[in-house]
Amino acid sequence: MKKPNVAALLLLLALAMFGLWAVADELQDANALFKQGNQAQALDKVNSYLASHPKDAKARFLQGLIYTEQNKTAEAIKVFTSLTEDYPELPEPYNNLAVLYAAQGQYDKARNALETAIRTHPSYATAHENLGDIYAKLATQAYDKALQFDKTNTTAQTKLELIKELFSSSPRAAKVTAKTDTAKTDTVAAVTPSTPEPQKVKTDNAAKENQPVATAAAGDDTQDVLKTVNDWAKAWSKGDVAAYLAFYAQDFKTPNGESREAWEKSRKERISKSMSIQVTVIDPKVTLSDATHAKAGFKQDYRSNTLKSTTAKNLLLVKSGDKWLIQREQAGR
């Protein structure tokens, strides 16, 4: 463990004065042990903590995670189920229940759990992604029944993202997917993590799938598109709402089909609310589908005071006069 600095020592003293020191420490230790992969000891700690705090949601959540890691699926399901009963408003236990059900092949139950998570938190990105995978899996099963495929058909089992922190759903725009890179979240202080750590980081196909068109004429356009994308990220980073919105075409397809006006309003609110935003475009790949249409795929690294995420993003752009404007914005893999 890191050597505590003075400020931290003062904080610890304050906690000790309120008599919370020992117990808080126990849960933190359990968390740390869990992250180090020491499940047995983590479980001891969390159980001892739960003996005095049987209702504590964070501790029970951690207990569920430990059981999951230990492949004690039945116990894990029991813990997360009781959390959904006591805290029906929390989406994380539903998500993790869904992960466990899916691992057992109980896709209908997984779907119900995820749909419940999304009902309480419509913008919950991990649950959305997991649900998308579940729908695809259920569709495959339905098609198999329709087409009389053999049950032994060995399709890869759907692997969903387990959420490892409670209260991880920071407020954010529905389409900004908070799928973070495990390597990066390690640098975030373990005391107050604010983003989910996916168990599995999906491979990024978008980055590989299309090579830029390499003709001379297209080269200029490709450069223009790249510049547009970078300028767009800059305007966003500066919190310059007017400049940011000017990058979107008149016929921009709003992410949830809302009106342009409603979308602009919500963007304005989000961008002006964050005290600091840093958006970086990583590994951009530009594909021109014709003279006036282009796709820019890249990793979007987003950091604000409340959220830090790396997502794959695709922008579909249309050329209007000599400017490229965003027609669609897709977050995803």
Query: Is 236 in contact with 204 (CB distance < 8 Å)?
Result: no
Find the shortest distance in angstroms from Cβ 267 to another protein.
Answer: 18
- 154 near another protein, rule: CB under 8 A: no
> What letter represents residue 263's amino acid?
W
Binds another protein (CB under 8 A): choice among 17, 85, 148, 211:
148
Token pair listed for 27: 């849960």
The distance of closest approach from Cβ of residue 95 to another protein in the complex, given in angstroms and rounded to an integer, is 17
**In residues, how long is the chain?**
333
User: Binding to another protein by residue 269, rule CB under 8 A?
Assistant: no
Is position 262 an interface residue for another protein (rule: CB under 8 A)?
Answer: no
Residue from 143, 246, 251, 291 touching another protein (CB under 8 A): that is 143
Indicate which single residue of 139, 217, 246, 262 sits in contact with another protein (rule: CB under 8 A): 139
Beginning with the edge strand found earlier in the chain, give each strand of the sheet holding 308-320 in spatial order: 277-290, 293-304, 308-320, 323-332
131 lines the binding site for another protein (CB under 8 A): yes
3-state secondary structure of 300: strand
Instruction: Give CA separation, 94 vs 179, 186, 235, 314, in Å.
Output: 18, 25, 37, 29
Q: How far is the CB of 151 from another protein (least distance, A)?
A: 12
Nearer to another protein, 45 or 172 (CB): 172
Closest approach of another protein to the CB of residue 133, in Å? 8
Cβ at position 145, least distance to another protein in Å: 4
Instruction: Spell out the alpha helix ranges (H) of the chain.
Output: 6-17, 21-36, 39-52, 57-69, 73-86, 91-103, 107-120, 125-146, 182-185, 205-209, 216-238, 241-245, 260-273
Residue with Cβ nearer another protein (128 or 164): 128
Smallest gap, in angstroms, from Cβ of residue 140 to another protein?
7
User: Would you tell me which residues interact with another protein (CB under 8 A)?
Assistant: 131-132, 135-136, 138-143, 145-148, 256-257
